[in-house]
Structure 1
């Protein structure tokens, strides 16, 4: 197989992984149709509300995207900077903005991967060996994990399928 064919195949695989559908739930399915009254509710025995999970997903995705795009990346402090300050949504606009931001950053990551000028396997000079491909796999894995949590939270709140 030619190098260019391998490169195109890797791009296609990474994009499929980020778009979900092959082995895990997509973002739109996980967040759509949730009653706003439940956005800030933590089910008994679980540490996160839908709002906290959505914000965590948004913050982490932006963090990974920023790391991929710039040597001026400013690392966040774990765990405080990666989770919202409160379990409830400040207002309806905050929920909508978080969803729009997640979508926009997800598209920016897909665009970065799809760009033939992006060397997917070259270590990022400001990292410790990470590459765009590695960060894309990390992002897909992280999103799948927390979207699965969101589905569990929704089930326990009676807001998923037959719950």
Structure 2
């Protein structure tokens, strides 16, 4: 790939990771949700906003860790990916989870933007995965669950 094509490809991949073109962003989905609704599961839904937020954070962290850590240890599905508690354990947990999610997303974006990162090379400790595949997995997974979070907020009357 020529230098300008490589830069354009990386830029488009970052846009897919950070969202907002075809759907709500993570920031929009988590902003301003009243604390009393963070742990509420609306009728007809499976998860509370807290459970969705934590799942987003945990899964994204796991994918990032796999992408960069040669000593990666796989989490147990589904136990390590979904919190059992419907509500945040304390009043600071929601904001902390949001901050950590953003930090990890920023790290994935930095990995994609780094020209030293070969997006197409197989990850040495994987079984065929590439950084490109992992970045797309983050984007896809996040978009899916951000959509769920927006729907749950609508069901709770806390959207728009």
Q: TM-score under structure 2 normalisation? A: 0.97
Report the CA distance between 1:24 and its aligned residue.
2.1
1-side partners of 2:52 and 2:116: how far apart? Answer: 33
Report the CA distance between 1:85 and its aligned residue.
2.2
Aligned counterpart, 2:16: 17
What stretches of structure 1 of length at least 5 have no aligned partner? none
State how many pairs are aligned: 160
2-side partners of 1:25 and 1:125: how far apart? Answer: 34
Moved more, 69-78 or 16-25: 16-25
2-side partners of 1:102 and 1:24: how far apart? Answer: 18
Aligned counterpart, 1:66: 65
Aligned counterpart, 1:128: 127
1-side partners of 2:72 and 2:24: how far apart? Answer: 29
SS at match of 1:33: coil
What stretches of structure 2 of length at least 5 have no aligned partner? none
Give yes or no for the alignment of 1:36 onto 2:35: yes
Cα root mean square deviation, aligned: 0.9
Residues 110-139 of structure 1, C-alpha deviations (whole Å, 9 max, x = no match): 111111111011110111111111111110
Q: TM-score under structure 1 normalisation? A: 0.95
Aligned counterpart, 2:75: 76
2-side partners of 1:5 and 1:49: how far apart? Answer: 44
Aligned counterpart, 2:110: 111
Report the CA distance between 1:26 and its aligned residue.
0.9
Aligned counterpart, 2:142: 143
SS at match of 1:51: helix
Aligned counterpart, 1:6: 5
SS at match of 2:11: helix
